[in-house]
Amino acid sequence: MSRSFLTKTVFIFGVCLAVSFSLVPFLLFVSSAFKTQTQISSIPPQWWPDFSLKFFRSALKNYGIMHYLLNSIIVAGTTTLVTISLGAFSGYALARLKKKWAHLILMGILACAMFPQIAIAGPIWRFLQIMGWLNTYHGLVLPYVALTLPLAIWILTLFFHEIPRELESASLVDGCTRFGTFIRVVLPLSTPGLFTASILCFIYAWNEFFLALLIMTDPARQTMPVGIALFQGEYTVPWGEIAAASFVTTAPLVIMVLVFQRRIVTGLSAGGIKG
Amino acid sequence: MASLGIKNISKRFGKVVALSRIDFHVEDGEFCVLLGPSGCGKSTLLEIIAGLTLQDQGTVFIDDRSVTNLSPRERDVAMVFQNYALYPHMTVAQNLGFGLRMRGVPKEMIGKRIMETARLLGITELLDRRPKELSGGQRQRVAMGRALVRRPNIFLLDEPLSNLDARLRVNVRLELKKLHKQIQTTTLYVTHDQVEAMTLGDKVIVMREGKVHQIDRPEIIYNKPADTFVATFIGSPMINLFKGIMTEQKGRFIIKTQDFHLEYVHDDLRFGNGELEIGVRPEDITVVREAERGLRAKVEVVTDVGAEKYIHTRLGSTSLTARAAKEDSFQLGETISLVIRPSRLHIFHDGRRI
């Protein structure tokens, strides 16, 4: 047996292990979502579902998941929009600032990202209460922006750094303003970075549970993760509906990532290789 | 079209002096070349003229109007960058039209000008391509086109040929010269290549370490270099430079060096005391075989460049390079005679020409 064959086998085995480790729980709830009520509680468990849409109908009707979904779209969408706008401006400034200072600021931003959520949850709640922003969309978007901004700034700074200054000079000489150059030359060339940062922010805001639970006590404003967690009644755990709702929550993200896969990969490897 | 004036420009980056008191004038329609080794501040000067960098001191004049407080847009200069700096996300046509679009030129006009320029540069079939689908030479043309299409006051070119391979460079150089004859736009061309400077420039400015060493027509730069730096920087192979002192013997001036004596012919003699530096170009030394004439020297290396030969010889501690015809042949170690034309000697004192 050749050495390269051995390494290859080990490599493939390792990859399979890692993939199934992450994927199996996901597949379990996907399969549950398509089961019928009897299948879901059968012992021994039945792996392959009947592809019934009963749980989806029930989740839609009895638990009103569309309205949680809408809240999630509003909150995650706004968070992404605000974070990317702010992140693009600050990232550009940091990419063009003197190296020493930029580095210092970037490190400061990274330090901010290190705070555990629980440490800032109290102050955030108190602040929102004083402002009267509990149970409002912007009340939730605000901490989300604060929490996603460091990552966005880091990704975008790296990206803008890679854009040759000569291109900006050319644009300035061609008669563009500094802002025009940013919009017409720098941003279009950074689309992979913008995509990557956007998707990561969106996923964060989409999946976030703890702050959403804390801030949104009014069911009318709750997002999907909170909504699903509260499906549970006093005596019942509606597993099927939970699985169906989780499927509805996750599917858009998976599709989005698959569609933009190539752009995200280039985005995440920025800085390592020249664009 | 416009003239360009540079008055007393200085610029520092931290402790490094990039430019110190630069002064020169480029006439309307003139092709002026800024020549100097890399890091001499010539690119910084271009950026200052374009308005991309602010000088610490001094003024830039375009048509005798100070443009110091004007943005690059308002100065209306065009620049060709060393790496071309084409916008990768735009087609060639969009690259060419970008500057016009930014200045609010009407759409039909933009299309017309793009076609005109593309025809002038022979890039009409490339208009729909993106920069990454172009070869180096094609990119260079597009970069030139982007500058030309705007019909700017002044053309700034920052080593535009340095990324091309050798043969292409010669062709593009000739084309550039023709193009300038045709459009007659005031041009400032930065290069570290002396051949480009000598062949393209109506006027050459030689710079080193942020200072101007000489401003003259190319033939004067070559025939009467202002100092030892200019003398050694221009000309290939390099000028022969050796140290000596001047003495007078019975009304004749004799240059004495460690290894030999030379007669010097000149009517105006204002030599300081002390050591001089004497320069003589290889083509001003004739190689002869008669032992009774000239300086006896030993052949060390012969470089054959095809059209001619260069004989590197040694006289004691001095090495001298002389030019010979391609038909002549020499043995290594052979002793030959060098005849130096006295009228072609360049005499420098403290580095300056006298």
Residue A43 lies in a domain: no
Residue A140 lies in a domain: yes
Q: Which domain holds residue A234?
A: 58-268
What distance in Å separates the CA atoms of residue B235 and residue B261, rounded to the nearest whole number?
25
Q: Which residue numbers of A have CB closer than 8 Å to B's CBs?
A: 164, 166-167, 169-177, 180, 185, 188-189
pLDDT of residue A274: 34
**Nearest residue to B72 via CA among B60, B86, B84, B89:** B60
The nearest alpha carbon in chain B to A190 belongs to B89
- pLDDT of B354 reads 80
Kindly report the number of other CB atoms within 10 A of residue B66's CB atom.
Answer: 12
Task: State whether A175 and B73 contact (CB < 8 Å).
Answer: yes
**What do you get for the CA distance between the two ends of chain B, in Å?**
38
Scanning chain B, the segments in alpha helix (DSSP H) are 42-50, 72-75, 92-102, 107-121, 136-148, 166-183, 194-200, 218-223, 228-233
Residue A188: its chain B contacts at CB < 8 A?
89
| Tens digit of each residue's pLDDT (9 = 90 or more) over B226-280 | 999 999 999 888 999 998 888 877 767 788 888 888 877 665 556 656 788 889 9
pLDDT at residue B22, rounded to an integer:
93
What separation, in Å, do the N-terminal and C-terminal C-alpha atoms of chain A show? 40
Tokens of B264: 């010097």
- The pTM assigned to this predicted structure is 0.81
What chain B residue is nearest to A176 in terms of C-alpha separation?
A: B102
Return the higher-pLDDT residue of B252 and B49.
B49
User: How far is Cα B230 from Cα B208, in angstroms, rounded to an integer?
Assistant: 9
In-domain check, residue A17: no
What is the per-residue pLDDT across B140-192, written as a single tens digit (0 to 9) for each?
999 999 999 988 989 999 998 888 888 888 888 998 899 899 889 999 999 99
Mean pLDDT estimate for chain B: 89
What is the ipTM for the molecules in this complex?
0.84
**Residue A271 confidence (pLDDT):** 41
How confident is the model at residue A201, as a pLDDT? 94
In this prediction, residue A275 carries a pLDDT of 33
Establish if A199 belongs to a structural domain: yes
| Residue A244, domain member (yes or no) | yes
- Distance to chain B for A262, nearest Cα, Å: 17
pLDDT in tens, B285-328: 998 888 778 888 999 999 998 889 999 999 888 899 999 988 88
Please report, rounded to a whole number, the percentage of residues in chain B having pLDDT higher than 70. Answer: 97
Q: What is the pLDDT of residue A266?
A: 66
Looking at residue B40, its pLDDT comes to 86
CA distances from B238 to B228, B320, B354 (A): 11, 10, 20
Partners of A170 on chain B (C-beta within 8 Å) are 79, 81, 85-87, 146
Task: Read off the pLDDT of residues B82-130 as tens digits, 9 standing for 90 and up.
Answer: 888 999 989 999 999 999 999 999 999 999 999 999 998 889 999 999 9
Per-residue confidence (pLDDT) for residue A257, from 0 to 100: 84
Tens digits of per-residue pLDDT, B71-87? 999 998 999 998 889 99
Planar angle of CA B141, B142, B145, nearest 5 degrees: 90
- Mind listing the domains of chain B with CATH numbers? 4-233 (3.40.50.300), 240-353 (2.40.50.140)
Bridge partners for B77 per DSSP: B154
In a domain, A75, yes or no: yes
Angle (CA) A149-A153-A154 rounded to 5° is: 120
User: Which chain A residue has the Cα nearest residue B150?
Assistant: A174
pLDDT computed for residue B329 by the predictor: 87
Residue contact A174–B85, C-beta within 8 A:
no
Instruction: Say how far apart CA B346 and CA A143 lie, in whole Å.
Output: 77
Give the residue among B286, B291, B272 at the shortest CA–CA distance from B320. Answer: B286
List C-alpha distances in Å: A72 to A69, A214, B247. 5, 15, 96
Number of other CB atoms surrounding residue B217 within 10 Å = 12
The CB density around residue B278, as the number of other CB atoms within 10 Å, is 21
Which residue numbers of B have CB closer than 8 Å to A's CBs? Answer: 47, 50-52, 71-73, 77-79, 81-83, 85-89, 98-99, 102-103, 146, 150
In percent, how much of chain B has pLDDT > 90? 54
CATH number at residue A152: 1.10.3720.10
Task: Determine, yes or no, domain membership for A27.
Answer: no
Residues of chain A positioned with their CB less than 8 A from the CB of B88? 189
The structure tokens 């084409």 sit at B86
Residue A137 lies in a domain: yes
Averaged pLDDT, groups of 10, chain A, 275 residues long:
82 93 87 82 78 83 87 95 96 89 91 85 93 93 93 92 90 92 91 89 93 90 90 80 89 86 65 36
Those residues whose C-beta lies under 8 Å from the C-beta of residue A166, and which sit 6 or more positions away, are B81, B82, B83, B85
Chain A interface, best mutation among B102, B114, B130, B140, by max A CB count within 10 A: B102
Contact B155, B187 (CB under 8 A): yes
Rounded distance between C-alpha atoms, residue B79 and residue B84, angstroms: 9
- 3-state secondary structure at position B18: strand
Q: In chain A, whose CA is at the least distance from the CA of B82?
A: A166
**Alpha carbon distances (Å) from B31 to B4, B123, B180, B184:** 11, 24, 8, 8
Burial zone of B344 (CB within 10 Å; 0-12 exposed, 13-18 middle, 19+ buried): middle
CA distance A169 to chain B (A): 7
Q: What is the mean pLDDT of residues B7-25?
A: 92
Please count the structural domains in chain A.
1
